[in-house]
Structure 1
Amino acid sequence: MRCPYCSSEDSQVKDSRPAEDGTAIRRRRVCPNCGGRFTTFERVQLRELTVLKKTGRRVPFDRDKLMRSFEIALRKRPVDRERIERAVSGIVRRLESSGEQDVPSEQIGLMVIEALKALDDVAFVRYASVYRDFSGAEDFEKVIAELSAQINGDAGHERNG
């Protein structure tokens, strides 16, 4: 593993342990060249995923970008980091085990909305406002009404309009 400080090609593992929900290995490393210490994470990757953007462009799937989406939506919300990691890992596992290499960005967005709805209603509304491109207060009202209907067990009787 290349040292992030001096770019030396050699580094030594000083400590390894499971991280998150057991889906990764956390390794503490030290560079014998400059003495710099850093941490790496090792995860199983079942296949290389490519995200198909709405524009038709293809980009490599980036787990860190997915994590940032959750962190932005959940900023200043009382949700444990471990629950966020589990949600992200769950989405990645579902995508990798789907058998498809190319994944539409819309599919990922819907998975994020579903996960955020289970984690935190405020984060769900934040993310939905960007994902669904809200243009006014009525868009927020509609989503909040949907949430209220589900909370009250009245999800099957949504208003049209």
Structure 2
Amino acid sequence: MALAHLLVASEGRAVAVPDGLAAELFRHALDTLLPTGRPAKRLALAGPGLPAPDAGVDIVLVPPLPWTGRARRPPSTAAVPMTADIWSQLTSPHRELPVPVTGGMPDGVFRDDPLPLHPRRLFRPDWGVFLHTLARLPAVREPWLRAIHDHVRSRPYADPF
């Protein structure tokens, strides 16, 4: 769903996604769907506990306000809402440990924990959710966005991303 909102906020321009988990989620799909001719819009994470975005940031990924469910809206930027649990993973991916820590390891003992799980392939958005969300946004009436919608919809079994 956030990818559809991010496309609308891009206004048809490429989006520069910061490195990290946000890049793993969005960079490949955005690079595939958006043209590269004009200067790219800058994307950043914003919200509670994070510093205010730089002046050059055009789009921010934000969690919804808990009491209204609407996206937080920083001044002079486009806000793309994300569910709070996904947003918190993007901002602090190692916040919670899988098991409680009770003390240090004794001297001479080496940990043999497995490496953290990492996907074996690129993240691919669910095209059904993407199309469903995009079709319900008023901006889909714009020709450039309608062309993206129709292209993805016309190839249901191909990988549009």
Which one has more relative contact order, counting CA pairs under 8 Å at least 6 apart? 2
What TM-score, normalized by structure 2, do the two folds share?
Answer: 0.28
Structure (1 or 2) with the greater helix fraction? 1
Structure (1 or 2) with the greater strand fraction? 1
Which of these two proteins has the greater Rg computed from alpha carbons? 1
What TM-score, normalized by structure 1, do the two folds share?
Answer: 0.28
